[in-house]
Amino acid sequence: MTARLTHVDLFAGVGGFTLGFEATGRYRTALMADSDYSAALTFKRNRPQARYWPKDLSKVAVDELLGTAELEPEEIDVLTAGPPCQGLSKVGARLLDDPRNQLLKHTAELIGATRPKLAIIENVPSLWWDEHSELFAELSDALDREGYDLDMQVLEAWRFGVPQLRRRLFILATREDIEHRSTKRFPEGRELDRFTARDLIRAAENGEPLYPPGLSVEEAIGDLPTIPAGGGKEAMAYDGEPTSDYQRARRGDTDILFNHRARAHSAAMLKKMEMIAEGGRNQELADEQRLRSADGEYFSQAYARLHRHGIAQTITTYFQNPGSGRFIHYRDLRALSVREAARFQSFDDDFMFTGKFEQQMRHVGNAVPVLLAEHLAEHCAAILTGERSGENDLVANGPGSR
């Protein structure tokens, strides 16, 4: 057996990156680190053998990091990092001076000092845009000074078997002395751009859903039991068989359904949600029916309902709030359950989210989709070894496959 590659995951959350790297069978994750204890506890509950360092990385010196990982400089093959993006995200205030954004610079310093062969930094695409270009330039200058060549690409999760329209920026930093043994700079997702996301949503809203190029909402979550708002349990039984390859793959051998719990809504909210048809949204209601903010404005993008044949939109940390996006279940009168959101993020069903409800939401919404991470991990292995395992050949796999 060939030796496994060494991986370190910084700002690891509940381990979207790590689970994808693990799924390839080609890596040993020497260390995960994050300041969120509840994320560390969740991961350790699922993988008791993992070395997870619950630590504020802004205060970490390189010696301490390498010492905890029991590694020397240059021993890491791939370092992944998902520094927080709240200050940058399009959702919420964009604050360039958010101290969390300084973590990007510190990430570059940690990369420079630990000297992994490859590093992947994940962030929101707006890091690359106008008002953030200064921050992006600082990051790329810092990595350049540390002796790294950079490639950037916005990857769309749905092209990689993830049932979701999530777009994220990935920065691939390659140490100057490492020769790329793959001809591709980034993994290539399925080329299925017959429809844009907008086409899909518009078609679903017009009641003429196009079959999405990736996996539909129903293929992703249609087998999960009907539960009322405020209902469901942390552990329950499935009540039917899986009906798609994707559902079968996520279930694996699990016979307990974890985290299928949805938040309660007020009677007034339930009444409003009832008026929104499958695939519809607040904006389409008659003027007097629309949900409005305190100043009388109605929310055009909010209070939207999924369509069973549509594709899920980005799962954020607010997916239990119908006012924050298209998070109303297509069939049940409620926002998505934690397990449904986890399905859209391509976590396997045996991965259990522990902690409080709010923590579970944060952990699911923050994660890198596991299947996308798996493709990135395969790609990094191909860069370093020149070999692909072939398991991730998206062209050969039809929609609905892993």
Ligand X SMILES: C[S@@+](CC[C@H](N)C(=O)[O-])C[C@H]1O[C@@H](n2cnc3c(N)ncnc32)[C@H](O)[C@@H]1O
Binding residues for ligand X (CB under 6 A) = 11-17, 34-36, 39, 56-58, 82, 84-85, 100, 103, 366-368
- Which single residue is written with the structure tokens 């993830």? 162
Q: How far is the CB of 123 from ligand X (least distance, A)?
A: 8
b (16+ CB within 10 A) / e for 47-84: beebebbbbebeebeeeebbebbebeeebbbbbbbbbb
Q: Which is nearer to ligand X, 320 or 359 (CB)?
A: 359
CA dist., res. 110 & res. 29, Å (int): 17
Q: How far is the CB of 341 from ligand X (least distance, A)?
A: 13
CA dist., res. 235 & res. 252, Å (int): 16
Q: Which is nearer to ligand X, 43 or 303 (CB)?
A: 43
Q: How far is the CB of 143 from ligand X (least distance, A)?
A: 18
By C-alpha distance, which of 95, 83, 129, 50 is closest to 366? 83
Q: Which is nearer to ligand X, 60 or 197 (CB)?
A: 60
Count CB-CB contacts under 10 A for residue 197.
17
Q: Which is nearer to ligand X, 56 or 72 (CB)?
A: 56
Please, what's the largest Cα pairwise distance for the chain?
Answer: 67
Q: How far is the CB of 93 from ligand X (least distance, A)?
A: 17
Q: How far is the CB of 40 from ligand X (least distance, A)?
A: 9
Q: How far is the CB of 237 from ligand X (least distance, A)?
A: 28
Q: Which is nearer to ligand X, 56 or 151 (CB)?
A: 56
Q: How far is the CB of 211 from ligand X (least distance, A)?
A: 29
Q: Which is nearer to ligand X, 282 or 366 (CB)?
A: 366
Q: Which is nearer to ligand X, 57 or 273 (CB)?
A: 57
Q: How far is the CB of 91 from ligand X (least distance, A)?
A: 13
Q: How far is the CB of 107 from ligand X (least distance, A)?
A: 10
CA dist., res. 11 & res. 207, Å (int): 41
User: Between 102-114 and 133-145, two packed helices, what is the crossing angle to 10 degrees?
Assistant: 10
Q: Which is nearer to ligand X, 102 or 254 (CB)?
A: 102
Q: Which is nearer to ligand X, 60 or 178 (CB)?
A: 60
